[in-house]
Amino acid sequence: MSPLLHILPTLLVLFVLSMTVCPTAAARDLWNDEAGDSTLKLTTTLVGMGLVSAPPRHSLPEEREASGSLFGELRFDAIYRINRELQLDMAYDNRLTWRSGTSGGISAALPSTTAGPYRIGQLGGVVGRSRNFLDYNELDRVSLSYQTTKLNVTVGRQSVGWGRGAIFSAVDIFAPFSPLEINRQWRRGVDALRADIKISDTASVDMVTAWGPSWDRSCLGIRLRGFWGPVDAELLFAKRATDYMYGVTSSAAIGDFEAHGEFAAFQTPGDVPYSGLFGNRNWVPKAVLGISNNFTIGSGLKLLLEYHYSGFGAGDPTALPSLLATPAYSTRIGRGDTQILGRQAVALQAAYTFNERWSGSFEVLQSITDPSGVLLPSLSWDISENMTLQAVLFYGYGPSPVAGVPRSQFGSIPATFILKMSFYD
What is the identity of the amino acid at 183?
Answer: N
| Pairing of β 28-32 and β 387-397 | unpaired
Q: What is the pLDDT of residues 262-282, one digit of tens each?
A: 999 999 998 887 878 888 889
Confidence of residue 16 (pLDDT cuts 50, 70, 90): very low
CA-closest candidate to residue 316, choices 338, 343, 337: 343
Task: Give the domain ranges of the chain.
Answer: 3-424
What CATH homologous superfamily does 3-424 map to?
A: Porin (2.40.160.10)
* Interacting residues of 299 by C-beta distance below 8 A, sequence separation 6+: 352, 353, 354, 355
**32-41, 71-80, 186-195, 342-351: least confident range:** 32-41
Q: What percent of the chain has pLDDT over 70?
A: 89
Q: What is the pLDDT of residues 191-233, one digit of tens each?
A: 999 999 999 999 999 999 999 999 989 999 999 999 998 999 9
Q: Does the pTM of the predicted model rise above 0.75?
A: yes
Pure H helices in 209-335: 320-324, 327-335
